[in-house]
């Protein structure tokens, strides 16, 4: 089913040491999630734009992005709002302002930054869990023995997945390079607090998880994702190291400019991922709004797209279900549900919706209840790090929810 364009996913979650659930409870939780994800009648054909979205709210979205560009919070971007196959998509402003002006287009390729966590690492691990090759409740050290150093031998894969591992946010600077060295440094980390007691968003967690994919699968993270996710889903513009994959540089949005050294363009902006050679579990992916929408479409359908199944419905259900104990912000396997980083959710999408954002100015948020997803890709850190779209993300999430005709979000909470 092709969307109407407008303008220019294994069992239920387990908390073995936190909140034991009966076998019946596990089944019931999985069934509830599946109802929201894909156990429904075939979707209707895409409706006319004005039958799905309120035009005045779409105009407000245009104005909000335009105001952000005018106030130098970002040079431009691509917005994509989709519900039941009906799409409002549009490119705004410029993808480059230095060294010369280049208009943004719907096919602009953006540095996804931390969207890598949920578009690459999380689904790759979910597939390995689905295959029974990884147990999220086993200690990470079972798969990566060096991780046991400094008292980390009991920290589970799930706790690393949900940023409840006790590790600090990042590896920091220093003169090192290479993916293997990053793993060595990550394994040598000392916890700052016991697992499952505090939420600390940490790139180290996903550096470890990216290496876990490679260790268990025997393939590099980029090769695994290409073979099992992007190629089957038809995400032709998505992948690591776009210039090495032959993507045209003039379609790639640059990020930070470094004076006489030019701007990062087609090279990952994240310094740790750059030291790792451009392929990492926490950052490094490049993508387009249309490709992200295809991924969201697959999740909404319970793991299938255009007749190609990439994961089971119960795998999707588990990935986006709350995996944290009650004392911590709500996170899924990689996905944000209700945490301090859930700005793209806006003020209306209910708990149970999910998404993520990235440092460079990327975000997506998806609501299974209304079968809606909101994507905004930008390079807010071009030409400098002065750009800021935190308020815009929240505004876009709220306006997108308000635009939905026939949906009362008060009843979905």
> What CATH number did the domain enclosing 284 receive?
3.40.710.10
Q: Report the chain's terminal Cα–Cα distance, integer Å.
A: 30
Please report the pLDDT score of residue 44 as a whole number: 55
φ and ψ at residue 366, rounded to 5 degrees: -130, 135
Task: Tell me if 122 sits within 8 A of 112, measured CB to CB.
Answer: no
For residue 283, is it within any domain?
yes
Q: Tell me what the mean pLDDT of segment 308-334 comes to.
A: 98
Task: Tell me if 376 sits within 8 A of 78, measured CB to CB.
Answer: yes
Query: Cβ of 103: how many Cβ atoms within 10 Å?
Result: 13
With bands split at pLDDT 50, 70 and 90, how would you rate the model's confidence at 366?
very high
For residue 5, is it within any domain?
no
With bands split at pLDDT 50, 70 and 90, how would you rate the model's confidence at 215?
very high
Secondary structure (3-state) at 308: strand
Specify the number of domains making up the chain: 1
What sign does the dihedral 22-26-29-31 (CA atoms) show? negative
Give tens-digit pLDDT for 59-85: 999 999 999 999 999 999 999 999 999
For residue 391, is it within any domain?
yes
Q: How far apart are CA 263 and CA 219, in angstroms?
A: 31
Q: What is the chain's length?
A: 413
Tokens of 56: 């005045």
Structural domain containing residue 247:
23-411
Q: How far apart are CA 208 and CA 197, in angstroms?
A: 20
For residue 297, is it within any domain?
yes
Query: Cβ of 411: how many Cβ atoms within 10 Å?
Result: 8
Single pTM value for the model? 0.89
Does 17 score more than 90 pLDDT?
A: no
Looking at the DSSP assignment, which residues form a beta bridge with residue 362? 358, 377
Vertex 376: Cα angle to 48 and 226 (nearest 5): 100
Q: How far apart are CA 184 and CA 189, in angstroms?
A: 9
Task: Tell me if 92 sits within 8 A of 289, measured CB to CB.
Answer: no
Q: What is the mean pLDDT of the chain?
A: 91
Q: How far apart are CA 258 and CA 222, in angstroms?
A: 27
Does 9 score more than 60 pLDDT?
A: no
For residue 352, is it within any domain?
yes
Query: Cβ of 359: how many Cβ atoms within 10 Å?
Result: 18
Looking at the DSSP assignment, which residues form a beta bridge with residue 252? 109
For residue 373, is it within any domain?
yes
Q: Which of 28-37, 107-116, 217-226 has the lowest mean pLDDT?
A: 28-37
Counting residues of the chain whose pLDDT is more than 90, the rounded percentage is 85
Tokens of 348: 């209306």
For residue 44, is it within any domain?
yes
For residue 156, is it within any domain?
yes
Please report the pLDDT score of residue 339 as a whole number: 97
DSSP 315: H
Secondary structure (3-state) at 372: strand
**More confident call, 50 vs 205:** 205
């Amino acid at each position: 089913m092709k969307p109407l364009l407008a303008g220019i996913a294994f069992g239920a979650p387990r908390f073995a040491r936190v909140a034991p659930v009966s076998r019946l409870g596990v089944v019931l939780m999985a069934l509830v999630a599946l109802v929201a994800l894909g156990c429904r009648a075939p979707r209707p054909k895409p409706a006319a734009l004005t039958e799905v979205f309120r035009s005045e709210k779409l105009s407000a979205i245009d104005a909000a992005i335009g105001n952000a560009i005018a106030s130098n919070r970002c040079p431009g971007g691509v917005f994509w709002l989709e519900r039941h196959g009906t799409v409002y998509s549009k490119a705004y402003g410029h993808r480059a302002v230095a060294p010369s002006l280049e208009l943004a287009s719907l096919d602009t390729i953006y540095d996804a930054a931390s969207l890598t966590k949920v578009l690459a690492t999380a689904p790759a691990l979910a597939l390995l869990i689905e295959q029974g090759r990884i147990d999220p409740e086993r200690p990470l050290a079972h798969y990566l023995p060096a991780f046991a150093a400094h008292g980390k031998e009991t920290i589970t894969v799930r706790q690393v997945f949900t940023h409840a591992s006790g590790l600090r946010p990042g590896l920091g600077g220093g003169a090192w390079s290479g993916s293997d060295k990053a793993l060595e440094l990550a394994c040598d980390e000392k916890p700052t607090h016991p697992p499952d007691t505090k939420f600390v968003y940490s790139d180290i967690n996903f550096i470890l998880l990216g290496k876990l994919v490679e260790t268990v699968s025997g393939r590099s993270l980029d090769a695994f994702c290409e073979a099992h996710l992007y190629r089957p889903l038809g995400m032709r513009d998505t992948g690591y190291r776009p210039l090495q994959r032959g993507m045209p540089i003039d379609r790639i949005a640059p990020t930070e400019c470094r004076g006489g050294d030019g701007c990062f363009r087609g090279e990952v902006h994240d310094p740790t991922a750059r030291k790792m050679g451009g392929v990492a579990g926490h950052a490094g992916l490049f993508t387009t709004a249309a490709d992200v929408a295809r991924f969201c479409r697959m999740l909404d359908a319970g793991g299938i797209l255009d007749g190609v199944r990439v994961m089971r419905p119960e795998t999707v259900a588990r990935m986006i279900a709350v995996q944290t104990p009650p004392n911590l912000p709500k996170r899924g396997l990689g996905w944000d549900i209700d945490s301090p980083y859930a700005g793209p959710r806006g003020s209306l999408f209910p708990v149970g919706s999910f998404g993520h954002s990235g440092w460079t100015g990327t975000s997506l948020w998806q609501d299974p209840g209304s079968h809606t997803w909101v994507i905004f890709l930008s390079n807010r850190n071009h030409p400098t790090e002065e750009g800021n779209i935190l308020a815009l993300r929240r505004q876009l999430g709220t306006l997108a929810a308000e635009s939905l005709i026939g949906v009362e979000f008060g009843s979905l909470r």
